[in-house]
Amino acid sequence: MKTLKYIGLSLLSLIAIFVLFGLFQNKEVSVSRSIVINAPMNTVFDQFNDLEKRLQWSPWETLDSTMLPVLGEVTKGSGASYSWTSENQGEGTIKYSEVVENQLIQSELYFGSPEDEPAQGLMIFSSVGDGVKVTWEVHMDMGNNPIMRIVGRYMDEMVGETFELGLNAVKEICENLPSELPPNYDDVNIQLMDIESKPYIGLMDSSSMEEMSEKIEMGFEALASYFQANNLVTDEFIRITYHLYEPPTKIVFEPLFVLASEVSVNDERLYMGTTYGGKVITATHKGPYENSLHVWDAMDHYIEVNGLTVIGSPWEEYENTKKTESDPEKLITHIYMPVN
């Protein structure tokens, strides 16, 4: 009986030591791995942002043949998600809670019950030299369970190796893809994004290429006078939408000012409309307006190589104008094309 008593006391002591060891481990656990990928930012970011592409290289699916992923209704950007079931790792869900184009993707990871506190995932993208540095992180609260805290002690080693597998897989994919733009377009940074529709007051006009600058200036002057007389404030940069472009003889264009909310219009030259809302590609041109053709050509090429289709009238937004900026090299024009 004494032997059993000693064995029992020893087991209790071991359990107590185990519990104390666990409770002294960190409750908050973080894992982080980085890699530099020598490819355009758009190419790299898209591999992470598009869940259909992400599942092609995801290390967990590669390592676990029993894992069955199911994509959610949204597969790109904020709100994108997928769930999985696995004989070896149970079930879970990942959801993108915040996405900033070409900068970061923040996600929530649920393991088992969706009522449990999610782990926080983060992917950070930054330009470095001719490539992109990608940092993949996860932050977890292991709670007060000593066993989970002990697991957390080894989380960096376990999860970190898997992160490295995934990052190396993305690097191989991106660096072996054809360049989105040929070398002569490398200076054009093109982004794919979604924008909201807003009300505007505009003025439709047409002219030859020779007369266009003068007529556009007259259109903006008419809009500015109307806004000033009616105490209206534009909600964004001033804009020109191009509805028909057949130089040098005919160009149909629409100078407009965007508003935060609809108003009534009492000038027969002007009218209220609604801007396009949906998917666009956009790029920024810095310098004289007449030198922007290079950017338009790069955007046309981007559309072609990415299998996109232009579905509406493109437009330009002017961060400054010749009236506010005397140096033509400092003029900033944002170009947009609606696509699907």
Asked if 143 and 123 touch (Cβ cutoff 8 Å), the reply is no
pTM: 0.49
Q: Judging by beta carbons within 10 Å of its beta carbon (0-12, 13-18, 19+), is residue 105 exposed, middle or buried?
A: buried
Which tokens hold the place of 98?
Answer: 């915040």
Query: 155-176 and 146-153 are packed helices; what angle lies between their axes, rounded to 10 degrees?
Result: 50
DSSP single-letter state for residue 270: -
Residue 90, Ramachandran bin (φ over 0: left; ψ between -120 and 50: alpha; else beta):
left
Question: How far is the C-alpha of 166 from the C-alpha of 61, rounded, in Å?
Answer: 10
Asked if 84 and 68 touch (Cβ cutoff 8 Å), the reply is yes
- Closest by Cα among 45, 46, 21 to 145: 21
Question: How far is the C-alpha of 178 from the C-alpha of 190, rounded, in Å?
Answer: 16
- Closest by Cα among 30, 57, 41, 49 to 133: 41
Reported as type and span, the H/E element at residue 170 is helix 155-176
DSSP single-letter state for residue 117: P
Asked which of 20-24, 38-42, 62-66, 250-254 is least confident by mean pLDDT, the reply is 20-24
Kindly give, in sequence order, each residue whose CB lies less than 8 Å from that of residue 47, ignoring residues fewer than 6 positions away. 53, 54, 57, 170, 173, 174
- pLDDT tops 70 at residue 257: yes
Asked if 190 and 298 touch (Cβ cutoff 8 Å), the reply is yes
pLDDT tens digits for range 276-310: 999 999 999 999 988 888 899 899 988 888 878 99
- Closest by Cα among 255, 250, 247 to 216: 255
Confidence of residue 39 (pLDDT cuts 50, 70, 90): confident
**What's the confidence (pLDDT) of residue 8?**
46
Residue that has been written with the tokens 């000033």 in this structure: 228
**What percent of the chain clears pLDDT 90, i.e. is strictly above it?**
46
pLDDT tens digits for range 93-137: 999 999 998 899 999 988 766 566 788 889 999 988 878 999 998
| Mean pLDDT of all residues belonging to the chain | 83
Please give the single-letter amino acid code of residue 63.
Answer: L
CA 39 from centre of chain: 17
